[in-house]
């Protein structure tokens, strides 16, 4: 079910990892950001939009991870536009092309999907995105201006989206209240510095933000944006300095992900330690 979080901005939640699809209303239809995970959820979203008389005129994937690259055929057709274009940053699209370049790619991705939902995740339209020209500052569409805040934290070509006139920051897989920062451990640069640099960018973009929409987790209001940025920065400092985390997302009283998030934290620590021992190159 669609839920309005700001004027002309709605979200549709997924059961998987508390994922948020974001709908932004424009003149002729909607922009759909990270549309969802399970097929029945995306079909429900398509029904909701049809009832509102709001076709999908464009899509956007915030980054090149499988759960942000999915699509449903019922979301694709839009009057006046033909097939709705699906965008990502140039780096994001390049990463997608590389990962899907061989015949076994979808089988490998299917192996990453939790078994309990694997049959519910449609992969036929996976990753069919168009890279915007490098350094593109705004999404090209007939709706409110949406600024692209690109960085290299979490994944190549990751983009947060700032809908300035609506006071909304769509953060992608950052600034979550349930997930710890997950670094791009395959980065050719310093993944810790990439993450800290991205947080500085988000901090600079969030001055007038009233609503924060993370890729996973609950919606944050104005007073929580700074709190989440500070919390993510503190956690990344813990990784950098190899300290014991006091982050509630990875230790008591955590409830979400308590079975697997501590393992993610330990793997990140181990990878960074190995990287440091090998002179800073990926392990």
Per the CB < 8 A criterion, the answer to whether 137 and 148 are in contact is: yes
| 58-72, 199-213, 219-233, 269-283: segment of lowest average pLDDT | 269-283
The verdict on 115 and 206 lying in the same domain is no
Q: Running DSSP on this structure, what letter comes out for residue 132? A: P
The verdict on 138 and 257 lying in the same domain is no
> For residue 83, what pLDDT is reported?
63
> For residue 283, what pLDDT is reported?
46
> How many domains, the chain?
2
User: Percent of the chain having pLDDT more than 70?
Assistant: 96
User: pLDDT tens for residues 125-147?
Assistant: 999 999 999 989 999 999 999 99
Domain end position, chosen among 144, 177, 201? 144
- Closest C-alpha among 63, 28, 23, 26 to residue 46: 23
Per the CB < 8 A criterion, the answer to whether 136 and 60 are in contact is: no
Please give the residue range of the domain that contains residue 136.
1-144
| 2-6, 30-34, 111-115: segment of lowest average pLDDT | 111-115
pTM, entire model: 0.93
> For residue 282, what pLDDT is reported?
56
> For residue 245, what pLDDT is reported?
86
Domain end position, chosen among 93, 114, 144? 144
The verdict on 59 and 168 lying in the same domain is no
The verdict on 159 and 96 lying in the same domain is no
The verdict on 76 and 149 lying in the same domain is no
Query: Which residues are registered as beta bridge partners of 40?
Result: none
> For residue 96, what pLDDT is reported?
96
- Closest C-alpha among 68, 76, 27 to residue 50: 76
Residue 268 belongs to a domain with what CATH number? 3.60.15.10
The verdict on 269 and 204 lying in the same domain is yes
The verdict on 202 and 242 lying in the same domain is yes
| 62-66, 77-81, 107-111, 256-260: segment of lowest average pLDDT | 77-81
Domain end position, chosen among 122, 144, 166? 144
User: pLDDT tens for residues 13-48?
Assistant: 988 899 999 999 999 999 999 999 999 999 999 999
User: pLDDT tens for residues 148-195?
Assistant: 999 999 999 999 999 999 999 999 999 999 999 999 999 888 999 999
The verdict on 71 and 207 lying in the same domain is no
Q: Helix %, strand %, coil % for the chain, to 5?
A: 35, 20, 45
CA-CA distances (angstroms) from residue 193 to 184, 188, 211, 271? 11, 12, 26, 15
The verdict on 29 and 52 lying in the same domain is yes
The verdict on 84 and 166 lying in the same domain is no
The verdict on 168 and 270 lying in the same domain is yes
CB count, 10 Å around CB of 53?
A: 7
The verdict on 260 and 136 lying in the same domain is no
């Amino acid at each position: 079910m669609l839920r309005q979080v700001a004027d002309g901005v709605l979200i549709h939640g997924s059961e998987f990892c508390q994922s948020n699809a974001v709908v932004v209303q424009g003149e002729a239809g909607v922009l759909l950001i990270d549309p969802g995970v399970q097929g029945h959820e995306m079909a429900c979203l398509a029904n909701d939009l049809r009832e509102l008389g709001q076709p999908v005129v464009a899509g956007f994937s915030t980054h090149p991870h499988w759960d942000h690259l999915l699509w449903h055929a019922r979301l694709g057709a839009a009057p006046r536009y033909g097939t709705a274009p699906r965008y990502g940053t140039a780096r994001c699209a390049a990463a997608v092309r590389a990962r899907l370049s061989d015949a076994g790619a979808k089988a490998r991705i299917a192996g990453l999907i939790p078994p309990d939902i694997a049959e519910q995740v449609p992969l036929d339209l996976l990753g069919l995105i168009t890279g915007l020209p490098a350094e593109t500052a705004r999404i090209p569409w007939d709706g409110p201006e949406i600024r692209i805040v690109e960085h290299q934290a979490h994944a190549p070509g990751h983009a947060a989206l700032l809908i300035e006139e609506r006071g909304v920051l769509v953060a992608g897989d950052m600034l979550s209240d349930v997930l710890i920062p997950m670094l791009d451990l395959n980065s050719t640069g310093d993944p810790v510095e990439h993450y800290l640099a991205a947080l500085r960018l988000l901090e600079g973009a969030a001055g007038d933000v009233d609503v924060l929409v993370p890729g996973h987790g609950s919606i944050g209001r104005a007073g929580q944006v700074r709190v989440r940025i500070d919390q993510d920065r503190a956690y990344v400092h813990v990784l950098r300095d190899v300290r014991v985390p006091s982050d509630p997302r990875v230790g008591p009283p955590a409830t979400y992900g308590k079975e697997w998030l501590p393992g993610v934290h330990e793997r990140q620590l181990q990878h960074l330690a190995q990287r440091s021992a090998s002179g800073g190159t990926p392990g």
